[in-house]
Amino acid sequence: MQNLKMINQTFLLGLFILSLNSCTESIKKTSKFIYEIEESSVQLKILNGNDYLTYNTPIRVDFEWKNIEPETVSIYGAGIKLLRIKNEVTQTEINIERHHLISDTLDIKLSFELNGQKTSTYFNIPVKN
């Protein structure tokens, strides 16, 4: 009887550890490409699940805006194709050819209006083969 109780406790401890591990995994998947100022922000999300782009591969990338009007936004960078603006998300596709970059980093410049003033920021996205 005591062995069964010990087995149950070990099993529950194992489940607890697995649950904690899955929580930390979901935290790791949060995008590192975010710009925040006061209550406004823009987050770049690479929709293939990676935190980098791949040369010669079209990849969907969304820009999610919080308290920023997407209509005031300009996005600058090599290989970026605007697909559509829906609600507070600008959907793009990025396809980088190797000869377009000097280094293996795509520099994306964002310009937008925030409280009536022009604001800008940069995202530097790694690009791999």
Q: What pLDDT, in 10s, does the model give residues 10-26?
A: 544 444 454 545 444 43
What is the pTM for the complete model shown? 0.74
Residue 129 has pLDDT above 80, yes or no: yes
CA dihedral over 29, 122, 94, 83, signed as positive or negative: positive
Q: Which two tokens stand for residue 92?
A: 């793009």
Cα dihedral: 49, 54, 56, 61 (round 10):
40
Q: What is the pLDDT of residues 57-77, one digit of tens each?
A: 999 999 999 999 988 999 999
